Amino acid sequence: MSDVIRLDVMKTYKLFVGGKFPRSESGRVYEVSDSKGQWLANAPLGTRKDTRDAVLAARAAVKGWAGTTAYNRGQVLYRVAEMLQGRREQFAAEVAAAEGLGAKKAAALVDQAIDRWVWYAGWTDKVAQIAGAANPVAGPYFNLSLPEPTGVVGIVAPQTGYGHSFLGLVSVIAPAIATGNTVVVAAAADAPLPALSLGEVLATSDVPGGVVNIISGRTADLAPTLASHQDVNALDLTGAIAAEGPGAAAVLEAAAADTLKRVLRPAVDPSAQDWTSAPGTDRLLSFLETKTVWHPMGQ
């Protein structure tokens, strides 16, 4: 019996919406290939309706997630890093295939992504110190400015740059949810597998359902839905690299302006972006609103 042939069990990649793993509402999939054009897997072809469902889930999750203490959010995010650590080989393989990297480089990128997740986990209860202030006022009052989450953030995930498929993805999701936002992510169209696998990690790491929602599909379908949706509060256009058409950054920004969304523009040259460089606090501070309260000073 030594020559028994075993068939590998292939994974069905699915969307991640509201803590569940639905197939696309359209029932359609598209082929994902590696950097050399070899078929890797079929990814669900997300539609406008999937995006709408994801926004609903994200909206429902805002109250709970924004309401948890910053300390608790940090613990939850650290837990995500713990879960990622246990699956680093899988992510390394997916990153290597998606970006055409050697095993060593891919593994280093995944390790860095895990470290970055921990880094952002540490920021949850410290961001108020750099984004908030006790303002001096001419009267016997405490005057405090406090950062609050913007709400539902639509994210067009990075599509280019060294490390975009996973390190870049983590670098856009983690800061948005660290400050209490919930997100709907349009995964990179050419490299959605690390994103869809990240959903499996999030589902098993105490992150409430709906805080992160991941949709794969054509950016030109998904991004305009997020940009025009009246219940999305902010838009991260990092991966909107199309020069023209419905998925172009300028078009999306114009659609977002109709509902006064906060918009984070893509880098001037997205393909030159190196996701391994230190992130700084910019993204952490991008999706915050400032609330200022006055309080009488006791004697």
Partner 1 sequence: MSTVAANAPGAAGGGLSDVAASEASLRRFLHGLPGVDAVGLEARAASLGTRSIKTTAKAFAIDLAISMIDLTTLEGADTVGKVRALCAKGKHPDPSDPSAPRVAAICVYPDMVATAKEALAGTGIQVASVATAFPAGRAALPVKLADTADAVAAGADEIDMVIDRGAFLSGRYLDVFNEITAVKQACVRPDGSSAHLKVIFETGELQTYDNVRRASWLAMLAGADFIKTSTGKVTVNATPPVTLLMLEAVRDFKAATGVQVGVKPAGGIKTTKDAMKYLVMVNETLGDDWLTPHWFRFGASSLLNDLLMQRQKLSTGRYSGPDYVTVD
**Residues between 254 and 293 that touch partner 1 (CB under 8 A):** 255, 258
**Residues between 186 and 225 that touch partner 1 (CB under 8 A):** 225
Number of residues that bind partner 1 (CB under 8 A): 11
Number of H helices, E strands in the chain: 10, 10
Cα atoms in the 13 Å half-sphere on the side-chain side of 137? 16
Residue 280's nearest CA partner among 125, 130, 74, 164 is 130
* Site map (CB under 8 A) of partner 1, residues 224-243, x = contact: -x--xxxxx-----------
Q: How far is the CB of 9 from partner 1 (least distance, A)?
A: 31
The answer to whether 139 and 296 have CB atoms below 8 angstroms apart is no
In the list 29, 55, 153, 189, the residue contacting partner 1 (rule: CB under 8 A) is 55
Q: How far is the CB of 230 from partner 1 (least distance, A)?
A: 4
229 versus 283: smaller Cβ distance to partner 1: 229
56 versus 267: smaller Cβ distance to partner 1: 56
The reply on whether position 59 binds partner 1 by CB under 8 A is yes
Residue the block writes with tokens 């999706």: 287
Residue 224's nearest CA partner among 238, 245, 204 is 245
Rounded CA-CA distance 124/112 in Å is 19
Task: Work out the burial of residue 287: count CB atoms within 10 Å of its CB; fewer than 13 is exposed, 13-18 middle, 19 or more buried.
Answer: buried
Residue the block writes with tokens 């984004």: 131
In the list 20, 52, 87, 218, the residue contacting partner 1 (rule: CB under 8 A) is 52
56 versus 70: smaller Cβ distance to partner 1: 56
**Residues between 69 and 128 that touch partner 1 (CB under 8 A):** none
Tell me the window of 52-60, 175-183, 184-192, 291-299 that interacts with partner 1 (CB under 8 A).
52-60
Rounded CA-CA distance 141/295 in Å is 5
What residues line the site for partner 1 (CB under 8 A)?
52, 55, 59, 225, 228-232, 255, 258
